[in-house]
């Protein structure tokens, strides 16, 4: 598979949320069309509904892991453990690379923002936020863990 990291960043920088950018970039590989992918991931942006909890890019990684290797049988405890381990592995990689997986910590905020209204996307917004880098980080982790690509092929 050819790397889609730049596509994920471009989708974010075109105005989509971090979760949307990551999830929609890879969802077609699992038979999910772009419109549905954007709708499914839309509430996860801003650390879920702009509450600044788990980064939307991390939430998108978990959704994609579920599409790749999710468990559908409630009696399959090994399957449940396998998907939980994959999500932990990817989340740990994100945390190691970025220092946290909590949106407000990544943005240097003390607490959640009370206003649900998203910030206007301007050049200043993109310049002061690490979100493009975080989207790229999540995309790289997805490619390594779900599609077994190496860094050499991602540049």
Give 10-residue mean pLDDT values along the chain (155 residues): 96 97 98 98 96 97 97 95 97 98 95 87 91 98 88 42
Domain ranges of the chain: 5-154
Cβ–Cβ < 8 Å for 56, 78: no
Q: Buried b / exposed e across 104-114, counting CB within 10 Å, b at 16+? A: bbbbeeeebbe
Residues making up the chain, counted from first to last? 155
- Among candidate residues 61, 39, 63, 59, the one with its CA nearest the CA of residue 51: 59
Q: Exposed, middle or buried, 152 (CB in 10 Å: 0-12/13-18/19+)? A: exposed
Paired with 54 in beta bridges are 102
Q: What is the pTM of this model?
A: 0.92
């Amino acid at each position: 598979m050819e790397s889609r990291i730049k596509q994920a960043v471009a989708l974010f920088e075109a105005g989509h949320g971090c979760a949307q950018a990551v999830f929609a970039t890879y969802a077609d590989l699992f038979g999910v069309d772009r419109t549905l992918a954007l709708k499914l991931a839309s509430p996860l942006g801003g650390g879920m509904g702009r509450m600044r909890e788990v980064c939307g890019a991390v939430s998108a990684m978990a959704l994609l892991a579920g599409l790749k290797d999710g468990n559908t049988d409630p009696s399959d405890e090994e399957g449940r453990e396998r998907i939980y381990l994959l999500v932990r592995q990817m989340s740990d990689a994100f945390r190691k690379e970025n220092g946290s997986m909590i949106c407000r910590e990544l943005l240097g905020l003390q607490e959640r923002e009370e206003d649900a209204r998203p910030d206007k996307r301007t050049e200043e917004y993109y310049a002061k936020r690490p979100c493009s880098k975080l989207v790229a980080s999540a995309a790289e982790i997805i490619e390594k863990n779900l599609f077994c690509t190496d860094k050499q092929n991602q540049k």
